[in-house]
Structure 1
């Protein structure tokens, strides 16, 4: 971009720096359509390449930084001339200031910590400042309007397409089969089930949810991954797990009149994201932390569907989930019950690692789990009542063959008898390297590791894959391990 700005400039000529300032200003204008194209949810680049708009976001940020860098170089080089000529009160200068400060505001409000702390503010600021930038740039130098109007067209088309998608999914079915059910399944987790006729999506895709009755603005939407996949028959229900933090999610929880509420209208827009198929793997290890389970659980259920229909050669399906409390399994209990009832003749395992117990620590090498004794219903430390049966697991140190003093309860709240057979509870954090080595040793073909959760968990998964999938292991004939990750958060 800087090199193009020097095109046909005689550096020894008088006022050569002003010609450079003009040309780098043109480079800033030229970035504008690309900035808006890469920010759109339905951009053609994703359709042509299969790369999701989230993955292209780094190009959106890069083109935006290039635009703001070129704009400020242009402005700073022209400032002395404008000052000496007394043009600061002229409209083309005023509109130029509106454009450059509007775009600078876009950059300043786009940092990750701002998006996480105040997403609603980020959303509204992005819309208002984008309008300020486009209008200011258009009137600053109208001869460059051929760069601005395509950006306006891209932004308008993206908004129109999103409105059409929302209308198509939600409004033709305003009767009972279009309702949403919100359930408090934890102290800060809402399970939202949206029933929509004819709704289709693939594992790993997400929707934008809008609840005008509780949103801060009518334009406010938030992305959430679907925790399930469409059923082969019957009504189509999309299930989402929403952790109430602040802002929209907090207002959504406060608006609920009971633990189960069907009175709050929630509209869906999507699906978005390119499906990442795992059907061709023989062994799949899915790793999640907290509500990141929604992403991997949809793959879990999709693989079971594919195995039942004979579309997948999978023989081992292993889900490792980290939660704070054992009772958090109630978030996904209905989906696990359905999976356990209908799962095909393959090895299916769900390991729930509980990180907040008296024995929660890094797993001991050689930990042995022995079945305990059934106990009556108990109450967890944060006050959630456990119904049905609950067993108790004792950890044994094989070196000394003596039970530890502490035990971890194994809650089965909401789990059916068949689901209890595939779900196990363990304290602490998973030793992903050991788990992966064990799964790879038992695999008959390609292995995939897919992880979704906090950065620390994804880093641990990457380390495990790197330690297991070594060149030496490949030379010994070890099967190939493929890795895929999805980041939690905006």
Structure 2
């Protein structure tokens, strides 16, 4: 590495005249070797700097000759050009160390992911074979010190969240990885700032190199199609916190570099020079990008955030390239990763939408059409028929509607509510808020419109290539609890439908699957009624299914408390209360005695209005109030047989819903009970609205 940088320095040094590049490299390498030999000789003979000066030896003479061409004297037997070359080599090595550590961690996580996928497959295979043979369920609960330790670790690191000032609540694992990455970058960065010759610290340039080295990771982690997701099973949106961590390191090191130069003096790089103008442009661009990336901006003016994120990001990369062209490899790698992502995304779009057939006006409508329905107050269902499109439960796709978008081909992510079938339909359900979704509702001529062109690109999310084996991420568990709030039903419904399908085909370990839906009105059940009816009509296998609909009156969000508080006044003006259901009642409309218990008049009216089939009606229960998540999770966990891999709890909805579910899981997932064999471990999965 020292020779590589010495070569670069030699090529830029004066006193070379018209010599060839090969001669320059030879001279630079020879200088390093001779200097090292001289230093070794001095150490062996005990000569000091004073002796060297008085002795006028050959080494000193040669060093002086070498130093003359570079304009500097000797320090520790090395001329100025050699010292600069070695310092630059140290800086480069520091950044390569950062990338070696990052690559090693990614490789370790990839190995763990493969082992986890193999274990899940073995559990599904074993339990499914046992059920196919007609064997009765047995109590597989047994004390597990390893399971107890893992539960305690998961509660602390992943499930429980902690406030992080303006960044919202963050898990300890995200804290750790963010702090570890930042520490590694700054640690190796400042290590590279220390001169290997005299030990002096000069951080301005070395810390700027750290900023350059962040660009490939920032762009790579922001890409939907990135190799890290496929290797580790961690989808790009869940890697986003590392994208943010790398971005913060880039902002910090960029401004340390900028302020460092202001502190030491700009010299010949002052205002008006290309290096100054490009440097200030890049510094301001990355600062604006950071300031417009806070959660409050993303939630309130998402399209403005997206505009600044893209434009400022491009401006920073271009400015960095012109600021110091010798570091251009980092910018080219970042642009290459962006190009690969866009190429793969375009290929998906081209293939799934049969774009090659759209040149014919007669076939354009057939392959770009969509059905848009206003199925409830501000709730939209979009159906596009794409037979070539395949996805796994819980995944999402990007929807493009040129006739609705502000920017013609802008894309918006929505979770797919159904699972693949022979019809080829892809269904999305979402609530119209502002921006694109509000424009779509305003575009409707009636409750149903079929003349809006739509294109989908994806799928994304889920658990990487592990979905390729045809199973969702929950099918190895003994019991599954799906918790949804409002239109968060999209992810939960697809997982529920997939469990029905896997149970029918005998490819799941799930013995019990419960869907808990917090929603404002019983009318909401009609959103997914056609999907439930169609899937149950094909058969449900041996898994026991339950659907609990909790009716809230929250105008802000469909979020539960941990223990389902029920305020009588909350329901005093419930417009949807049918006859026979007192408006102020705080009791369940139908007290649940079993999954197929007799239904009260309220349930019957609401189920009939939703269009639920008699088969599905047997497993549906309505409740007033917010779901008592801790009670639900505890009951289903204690009733789990232990044949599968514990209990899976998956939540999708607003942040408040995710927080309530996390608190409930931590309260129930007790390491002491798992170690004693009283219950199974709980595995938590979360999808949250927004970024």
Equivalent residue for 2:214, pick from 31, 34, 42: 31
- Corresponding residue for 1:215? 405
- Corresponding residue for 1:373? none
Equivalent residue for 2:427, pick from 231, 239, 249: 239
- Corresponding residue for 1:339? 535
Does the 8 A contact of 1:38 with 1:59 survive in 2? yes
Answering whether residue 203 of structure 2 is matched by residue 2 of structure 1, we say: no
- Corresponding residue for 1:452? 652
Describe how 1:65-144 pairs up with structure 2 within 5 A: 65-80=248-263, 87-144=270-327
Does the 8 A contact of 1:189 with 1:242 survive in 2? yes
Q: How far apart are residue 77 of structure 1 and its match? A: 1.5
- Corresponding residue for 1:374? none
**Residues 30/313 of structure 1: CA separation in 2 closer, same or farther (3 Å cut):** closer
Q: How far apart are residue 206 of structure 1 and its match? A: 0.7
Q: RMSD of the alignment, in Å?
A: 2.8
Kindly provide the CA deviation profile for residues 206-239 of structure 1, in whole angstroms up to 9, marking residues without a partner as x.
10111111111134211111111102xx221111
Equivalent residue for 2:387, pick from 164, 187, 197: 197
- Corresponding residue for 1:368? none
Does the 8 A contact of 2:462 with 2:473 survive in 1? no
Structure having the higher Rg: 2
Does the 8 A contact of 1:178 with 1:197 survive in 2? no
- Indicate the structure whose relative CO is greater, using CA pairs within 8 Å and at least 6 residues apart: 2
Describe how 1:28-427 pairs up with structure 2 within 5 A: 28-80=211-263, 87-170=270-353, 171-172=355-356, 174-176=364-366, 178-231=368-421, 234-275=422-463, 276-342=472-538, 343-356=540-553, 363=564, 381=575, 392=580, 411-412=606-607, 413-427=610-624
Kindly provide the CA deviation profile for residues 290-334 of structure 1, in whole angstroms up to 9, marking residues without a partner as x.
111111111101111000001013221110000011112222121
SS in 1 for 2:549: strand
Q: How far apart are residue 243 of structure 1 and its match? A: 1.1
SS in 2 for 1:411: helix
State how far apart, in whole Å, the 1-side matches of 2:546 and 2:187 are: 57
Q: How far apart are residue 133 of structure 1 and its match? A: 0.9
Q: How far apart are residue 268 of structure 1 and its match? A: 0.3
- Corresponding residue for 2:625? 428
State how far apart, in whole Å, the 1-side matches of 2:626 and 2:586 are: 17
Kindly provide the CA deviation profile for residues 364-395 of structure 1, in whole angstroms up to 9, marking residues without a partner as x.
79xxxxxxxxxxxxx9838xxx9xxx775576
More helix per residue = 2
SS in 1 for 2:376: coil
Kindly provide the CA deviation profile for residues 393-432 of structure 1, in whole angstroms up to 9, marking residues without a partner as x.
576879xx9xxxxx97752223233332222211110111
**Residues 332/68 of structure 1: CA separation in 2 closer, same or farther (3 Å cut):** same
State how far apart, in whole Å, the 2-side matches of 1:346 and 1:65 are: 47
**Residues 83/287 of structure 1: CA separation in 2 closer, same or farther (3 Å cut):** same
SS in 2 for 1:268: strand
**Residues 438/142 of structure 1: CA separation in 2 closer, same or farther (3 Å cut):** same
Does the 8 A contact of 1:120 with 1:216 survive in 2? no
Kindly provide the CA deviation profile for residues 238-288 of structure 1, in whole angstroms up to 9, marking residues without a partner as x.
111121111111111111111111111111000011345211222111111
Answering whether residue 671 of structure 2 is matched by residue 471 of structure 1, we say: yes
State how far apart, in whole Å, the 2-side matches of 1:429 and 1:254 are: 32
Kindly provide the CA deviation profile for residues 192-212 of structure 1, in whole angstroms up to 9, marking residues without a partner as x.
111101211001111011111
Q: Which moved more, 1:339-348 or 1:417-426?
A: 339-348
Answering whether residue 634 of structure 2 is matched by residue 437 of structure 1, we say: yes
SS in 2 for 1:110: coil
More strand per residue = 1
Does the 8 A contact of 2:484 with 2:492 survive in 1? yes
The count of corresponding residues between Structure 1 and Structure 2 is: 458
State how far apart, in whole Å, the 2-side matches of 1:115 and 1:436 are: 33
State how far apart, in whole Å, the 2-side matches of 1:180 and 1:338 are: 21
State how far apart, in whole Å, the 2-side matches of 1:435 and 1:158 are: 42
State how far apart, in whole Å, the 1-side matches of 2:193 and 2:446 are: 71
State how far apart, in whole Å, the 2-side matches of 1:164 and 1:380 are: 49
